[in-house]
Structure 1
Amino acid sequence: MSYTRVSGGAIAMLLVISLAVSLVRAEGPPPATVRLGEVVEEEVRQTSPVIGVLYYDRISEISTELAGLVDQIEVEEGNSVELGTVLVRLNTDILDKEIAYQRSRIEQVELQINNAKKQFERLQRLFDKSGVSEKEYDDALFNYRNAQLEKEALVNALQQLLVQKKRSVITAPFGGIILEKHVDSGSWVQPGSQLVTIGSGDDLFVRAPIAEKTLRFIERGQSVDLVLNAFDRSLTGTITDLDPVADLKTKNVFLKISIPRQPLVAENMSATVSVPVSDRKKLRIFSRAALIKFQGKDFVYTVKEGKAAILPVNIVTFLGDRVGVDTPYIMPGMKLVVEGNERLRPDQPVTVVGAE
């Protein structure tokens, strides 16, 4: 049997550590550093959340004017493109040979023109001196003008070939997103064949249903707050119009809401839209940063006697980076924690470093 001998100094050290831990626990968490924001009162409309879907109001089915082999397709579905971005290149090997042949024919005819011109000018001098017959003179004039017309026809044909070559490179008619790709390299296409489908990034909308009785609170040009649910991304849209036909069963009407160009979005994604549903009324407004979530409900922190005090709130409307509440004990001029509230606990001591 063996025994472990513990010195008196070690025992004393353990007692000191235990006492320090007990004191820390008794004193609670250290003071938290926070920044405060002020509650104000404004007349605003109450809003209600509805789920809408994203769509592109301007969609173009890009097709080809030429028959040919797809040499390269430069985009994939989901790619962002700008005006003039190359989408598809058709093979131009045969066309290039035709262009080269046409240019050589023009050079050949230019030699004929030079020769016919010299012959005509020589016979013209002789004709003026009655040295040649009128028929010889007319034949020389005909040959000269005919060569000129032949060159003009060849130049026009060359221009058509160059236009075809230019059209063999298909570009984006506007900036946007590639929604669908209908062909790939090696595909044979005919005039009118669809190559890609592109949605205009500057014509991105949300289609949101509302009850017909709330339509009286809606105005064209009105700004509304919305959230792209896939990314929890908040932004502001503008009501531009509404669908002219209501849903036959629900009697809902659909708002057309324009939103700024967005990265990495897909058609038919969902968006939560805060739609006005009342006349203007006085609400207490404060920064959205003051809100914290607990068990699915909304709370804010204020400071009382140097400690954090948590209060539940009832949100009536969202106003971009602010919210409106009708909670009676949230009063104008009241100070709420807008920074440092993420890990704050009720009754935790706080140190206020500033206010918005």
Structure 2
Amino acid sequence: MKVLAAMSGGVDSAVAAARAAEAGHDVTGIHLALSRNPASYRSGARGCCTIEDSNDARRAADVIGIPFYVWDLSERFHEDVVEDFMDEYAAGRTPNPCLRCNEKIKFAAVLDRALALGFDAVATGHYAQLRTGADGLIEMHRAVDHGKDQSYVLGVLDQQQLAHSLFPLGDTPKSEVREEAARRGLLVADKPDSHDICFVADGDNAGWLREKLGDRAPNHGGAIVDEATGQEVGRHDGTYGFTIGQRKGLRIGRPAPDGKPRFVLDIEPVSGTVTVGPRERLAVHRLSGTKPRWCGTVPSVLHGSVQLRAHGEELPATVTVAGEQVDVELHAPAYGIAPGQAAVVYDGTRVVGSATIVSTVR
């Protein structure tokens, strides 16, 4: 097969490209330039898409012995991922930009261009496994290394995208991937993994949003209100600096009557009100989602599980689907679940699909 290997400049994508080439595929490496003004150097494990990352990807391609190109998708990335991120926070929701990037960029814009250029598949360093099911459809399953499993952020991929995807690392623990990189002479073998949101290199989401959104109404300033008493217990600079379940950085002047910490329970961007209260008020038993993305056959009722955060636990649940509406009844409560997050549905280790959370019931 003709395979396009997306190479971020990290160890995972480098080994994935090497494995694809070793398997006999005709591999071409590409690095996605996603930043309009890429920094020269990374800051430890923060961020990605720097000039240094591009150079690391090029050196890895040279070692593997495959052609290498840089594709500039910075405008598309800014429109589909960065702007969406800002709009969601401005509306009081909590998005996951990695899911949006996989949906809109890596497995849409890149895959569409790859197929148009005559490639058969796109290979990435994601930790997930693909199998052919009894019905002939391509199934996506959790990676062998559950600590590195990335099936959650791939839960937006549909059958057509999965049919043209390769995840060569899904059957290998991360420690063995680093050892393999060293054996292959790849200089990125010990390079730190990137963490946090790639376009917020210092990890300060609130500070980044404050700079980008500025005084954009209606998010500039407002009251922090205690749910039980209705009293104002603090002020804030913008609702975009908060997410449901947040405890730190609330800058609340007075303690709760029982002395226990308060958590963000609700965000109302129009009035600028942030409501806080005790942790037990964060317990969610049911949630609803919309804009579903199904990896294969659409279920009607599924007794399986859901994952609600990229590194969250798997929660037993009953999922009911009616058109664009996805209702989830959790068998045990979850805490700190916010509209805008993704609910990714599993049947055992198989990813069924995902939906964007629009409401929760406590």
| TM-score, normalising length: structure 1 | 0.20
**Higher RCO by CA contacts (8 Å cutoff, separation 6 or greater):** 1
Relative to total residues, which structure has the larger strand share, 1 or 2? 1
